[in-house]
Structure 1
Amino acid sequence: MNTKRLSNQGGESQHQMTARFTNKVVLVTGGGSGIGRSTALAFAREGATVVAAGRREEPLAETVKLIEARGGQGSAIVADVTRGDDVVRLVETVVARHGGLHIAFNNAGVLGTPQRIGDVDEATWSEVIAINLTGVWLSMKHEIAHMSRNGGGAIINMASIFGVHKSAPMYGAYAATKAAVSALTRTAAREYIAQGIRINAVSPGPIEAPMSLRPGETEAQRAERYRETVPLGRIGLAEEVAAAVLWLASPESSFIVGHDLVIDGGVTI
């Protein structure tokens, strides 16, 4: 597989517009980079109106610029998912601006500083919990409130193989939040499927995104590291996670509820 071609945002065949999500409004938190940006571009390429949300305006604006350059429809909203009032405003703005909210990808997250459990301070622990777990809960809470009144929808949460599938030495706070996201996803899925809301999660392994780079590591060094440790023989691509998210959001997965989809090249086998 030509990894460079797939990860390059210029391939023509990769950016042809299709209609699978026409007339759907999609919210992507953490939409300014990495998997969030790739997923926002993928939804827009398939006809959705996409709202990219995050804490920094500049990367969100770049995501929207990329969407529009390819003939898609997108907008950006600055919001902090750890703040309930921000999330309320975010959902209300999406609905007011675009007429509804049909799909949400709760992707915003942080890895945290590599430390053993005994060395993590309370401030670091609280920050990781706030963004990765409380942020997903708040996002779901207010997305569900709208969707349950308006015919349902689809929600996909960002978990990780380092939650319930594999240990994560030096990243205990991150692992704890991702395990909790998987559990929260299953519980919410069972609670709200009767309202027509399908809730699932994705659990990526090593992905070609900023979060997977070690301090001081080059992209070439990262690629070599994963070539040796991933059974498939390469690092995964953000576009491959995006494809899984789109599938879980689509009618093609209509019988999938409360699932945590592992995307890891065989790491957890």
Structure 2
Amino acid sequence: MSITTGRRLDDMTNATTTSPTTTTTGLLAGKVAFVTGAGRGIGAAAARLFAREGARVLLAARTETQLKAVTEEIRAAGGTADYIRCDLAEPAGVQAAVDRTVELYGRLDVAFNNAATIQQPGPIDQLPESDFDYVYAINLKGPWLAMNAEIAAIRATAGTGAIVNTSSVGSWGANPSLPAYGAVKRALNSLTASAAVTYAPEGIRVNAIAPGTTLTEMIDEWEAVSPGIVDQLNAQTPLGRAADPHEVAEAAAWLLSDRASYVTGTVLRVDGGMQA
């Protein structure tokens, strides 16, 4: 019995032996990127990476000295970057930062909402109400404010684009050490999914990343009040170590790029297998 495939054998051979076309174009070439929490940690690593991948970047955070240092580093490496001081707890400041991006670069294509704060570790009944309110303001209301401004800017300029929010592996399951932090990060997952479904018809993708243990100042603060916590977390991680911030930034860059064009509404775990 013979089977006709509709393709000649030599065509199939050529298809399997011909190397794909390669390109040196950056992952975010030609795009304008807005990054919050860009003065340190994952945000700073992302700003550097996005610039290396061809984006023009506006960095936003609360500490101007950190922002200036990262911006100058990007420029020294040949990238295009500027910065604006911004506190995510201040709605007018968030809007002004996004407006500044469009003013400088003429458009907004992608945004990485990475700024966050951590709570004092401990059980629910020992967390002051004011601390809970602050965690909520920065880690949930802040991204909500930012997305509102970013979506409007993308609509008005680039037309289509992508947004990535920083969640956490602590958003899944119980989080007795960081209950408020875990709760608002879980809410951020829901907000991300809702935005993804709402704006997908307009060509605006919305995703989140959920880092595991990452070597940032935030984890240093936790280690300072809970000695040994990093070792405990690493013991729960199949890869056996914490991530470097640039490893997490790589995931955000991919989700923001056109190579993730069919990905929206997902929370991508970047956790060394901790939640596998």
TM over 0.5: yes
Shift of 1:71: 1.1
Q: Which runs of 4+ in 1 moved over 6 A?
A: none
User: Which residues in structure 2 correspond to 1:69-148 (within 5 Å)?
Assistant: 69-148=76-155
1:17-53 residue CA offsets vs partner (Å, 9 max, x unmatched): 9533222110100000000000010000011111110
Gaps of 5+ in 2: 1-23
Q: Give the letter aligned to residue 266 of structure 1.
A: G
Partners of 1:148 and 1:196 within 8 A in 2: no
Equivalent position to 1:155, from 163, 181, 185 = 163
Give the alignment's Cα RMSD to 1 decimal.
Answer: 1.9
Contact 1:82/1:138 (8 A) holds in 2: no
Which residues in structure 2 correspond to 1:27-42 (within 5 Å)?
27-42=34-49
Does the 8 A contact of 2:111 with 2:150 survive in 1?
Answer: yes
Q: Is the Cα–Cα contact under 8 Å of residues 213 and 230 in structure 2 kept in the other structure?
A: no
Post-superposition Cα deviations, 1:232-268, rounded to whole Å, max 9, x if no partner, equal 1111121111110011011111110100000111111
Q: Which runs of 5+ in 1 are unaligned?
A: 1-16
Residue 244 of structure 2 corresponds to residue 241 of structure 1: no
Aligned residue number for residue 224 of structure 2: 216
3-state SS, counterpart of residue 73 of structure 2: helix
Secondary structure (helix, strand or coil) at the match of 2:224 reads coil
Paired letter, 2:131: T
What CA distance in whole angstroms lies between the structure 2 residues aligned with 1:224 and 1:179?
24
Q: 1:195 to 1:263 in 2, by over 3 A?
A: same
* Partner Cα distance (2:137, 2:233) in 1: 30
Distance 1:122 1:198 in 2: 34
Counterpart-to-counterpart distance in 2, 1:111 and 1:230: 21
In terms of mean alpha carbon deviation, does 188-197 or 226-235 score higher?
A: 226-235
> Between the two proteins, what is the percent identity of the paired residues?
38
Per the normalisation by structure 2, the TM-score is 0.86
Residues 158, 201 of structure 1: 8 Å contact kept: yes
Corresponding residue to 2:54 among 35, 40, 47: 47
- Contact (CA 8 Å) 1:204, 1:262: kept in 2 or not? yes
